[in-house]
Structure 1
């Protein structure tokens, strides 16, 4: 739990607040919702059918977890913006500029620009993985890949970044207390300097579901589902938050501002809610999944930003397009999809009719009426295995350390 802020720390927080606000100008280019298209299943439709589905849903942004040539070829001339991924096991090799150039020449250049590759995700959740040697490989690999793109004249069109687990934060609540873990102190400034120099975004995988699962009696369900609720007020900035995801994103912005990087855009590379889980996976229900994702879609249609950057729409990639039957881990891992592999909806989030629906948040019978004043003290543990890297991931701990009052927005 964080200590009460001193006068000096409050000044630092306010400085970070204004530094963070300084970066809103160019962030406004983020303009639509994206979807994570995973492939860890033995019954998934072929890429051309996936493209038809994305078109029918009017989704124009997708992220894949490799550089699958079949997908890259199938998405040619589709105008779908695609984020591709360098597997974690490739980082050591791609530190070498020559190897990186060869990789870009064989994995990217043959498909671009017919396939609208907009970003390269170098690794996935490297800073919180089991193999700590990868941490020292990450930024050099990113630099080498960016240099290769530059040599081929592609660096102005394809950005390079990496998705981070929210566990990179030591403190995340209240958002103004956001700070990175001390063990990342030596590498995080390098990473942020690269993002600032190349105008690339900071990607974060953020799942309010895990916070609720671990403390369902302390964290209001409506707060994590984006339903109407009293919300909470950051005691240092007086900004009001009516959902946990926006609070998590702003905590990342404050953490970067503390290191002198206040103008970097934050995007959500993964967020979602499982429609099914094991007995101990509280909240993993079809109803909650539908409500969470439907409310996110409605927020996107309203061009919302976070309280810290209200005029810059937050770009979000929902996890995931399909339920994937070969993913390891608890039942929830195989049930994040909006769709079943056969193309039928796992539940209806209203994608095809969203533009004509009301922007009012969807309620859920699983929630109860929230009092005007709520005192929270909670420790939320994030446990999630990733099925997309060639290396295993550890159990990630996301500690919220809540001790705040929540009240209604004036």
Structure 2
């Protein structure tokens, strides 16, 4: 009897290890951002069904839309929930305001799998469209962290913010990556918060914009992951621009006390029309290769899958300028714009 029991326990242990190993592979799974600035988009329940049908296991939403959260109830989709920039001042103003925000949008949905709370999106003292919110980011993050910790879910959900790569003052070679001096104080507070709470930094990375703004030095193939030779960057060969930008961000973090931080790529994509070098073929090539490449890790952090979210699920006809309307991988009728496989 004891031998049989020991054998059973051994089998269960092996199965448990296999399950943990299989779950670990989900770190390489690519999510998709669900923006809703369109007049012709499917219902929220149809959107969640579309994620499930295409084996998209992670979703980023930009505000706590109640219909979306209701549609996500009971699903296995992991969610980045955004505190929109317009809510930052209120959430930063008092702990009570943050507690109410978390109660209404997180605690009221215990059957939604929240992964991160992104407090603000692309807020920077350098950006004219978001600089007015910069003073509220850190206190809002602190208040949201206090709220989820008091609710006993601080070990399940990480609090962060999403920044863009315009904060980089040096981005080549990637090893020399450094933040602009003007954002030093702003980012240092955020970095200290993330280090203290074991949370990743969310970064929106768009090789498309880097390419069209610097076509004299960057080839289309390098931006689309299709370069045969890549680029020599200070003795390190980079096969694609996405890896180079990401490693420049890691180098900048290391110089700013954030060497322990992980980066989650909270947006990346390629538009299918509306501007320079836009086409369905280029969008398909970029996003298909992105799904493959984020499994491998960068030269600076090899073998470590990069949690990444493609922007976006649908074209959004209310966005501006024109090019921003054409990042979708699905049409409003839920048909894929081009073949893409998330498995």
Equivalence for 1:3: none
Structure with greater proportional helix content? 2
CA shift, 1:215, in A, is: 3.4
- Corresponding residue of 1:304: 296
Query: Paired residue for 2:49, among 48, 52, 67?
Result: 52
Quote the residue 2:81 is aligned against. 84
Q: Which residue pairs with 1:110 in the alignment?
A: 108
Contact residue 60 and residue 81 of structure 2 kept, 8 A: yes
Residue 317 of structure 1 aligns to a residue whose secondary structure is strand
Partner SS, residue 309 of structure 2: strand
- More divergent stretch after superposition (260-269 vs 27-36): 27-36
The residue that corresponds to 2:153 in the other structure is 154
Partners of 1:212 and 1:283 within 8 A in 2: no
Structural mapping, 1:234-253, within 5 Å = 234-235=233-234, 238-253=235-250
In the alignment, what sits opposite 1:100? 98
1:323-366 deviations in whole A, cap 9, x for unaligned?
11111212x21110001111112112234xxx5xxxxxxxxxxx
Give secondary structure in 2 for the equivalent of 1:78.
coil
Residue 262 of structure 1 aligns with which residue? 259
State the alpha-carbon separation in 2 of the partners of residues 215 and 180 from structure 1.
19
Instruction: Tell me what 1:182 maps to.
Output: 181
CA deviation after TM superposition for structure 1 residue 28, in Å:
8.4
- Quote the offset at 1:156 in angstroms: 0.6
Q: How does 1:8-407 map to 2 (within 5 A)?
A: 30-95=27-92, 96-112=94-110, 114-127=111-124, 128-130=126-128, 131-235=130-234, 238-277=235-274, 281-300=275-294, 303-330=295-322, 332-351=323-342, 355=343
Report the alpha carbon displacement of residue 261 of structure 1 after superposing the two structures with TM.
1.8
**Offset, 1:43:** 0.8
Residues 347 and 29 (structure 1 numbering): CA distance in 2 closer, same or farther, change over 3 Å? closer
TM-score (norm 2): 0.89
Q: CA offset at residue 170 of structure 1?
A: 0.8
Distance 1:28 1:59 in 2: 14
> How many residues are matched?
317
Distance 1:29 1:181 in 2: 34
CA contact (8 A) 2:34 2:313 kept: yes
CA contact (8 A) 1:239 1:308 kept: no
| 1:384 aligned partner | none
Per-residue Cα deviation, 1:170-222 (whole angstroms, up to 9, x for no partner):
11111111111111121221110111111111111111111222333542111
Once structures 1 and 2 are overlaid, which stretch shifts more, 180-189 or 242-251?
180-189
RMSD: 1.5
Which secondary structure state, in structure 2, belongs to the residue aligned with residue 83 of structure 1?
Answer: strand
Structure with more contact order per residue of length (Cα contacts < 8 Å, sep ≥ 6): 1
Contact residue 270 and residue 327 of structure 2 kept, 8 A: yes
Taking a change above 3 Å as real, the CA distance of residues 259 and 29 of structure 1, as seen in their structure-2 partners, is: farther
Q: Which runs of 5+ in 2 are unaligned?
A: 1-23
TM (norm. structure 1) is: 0.75
Does the CA-based 8 Å contact 1:271-1:318 persist in structure 2?
A: yes
Distance 1:290 1:309, change over 3 A: same
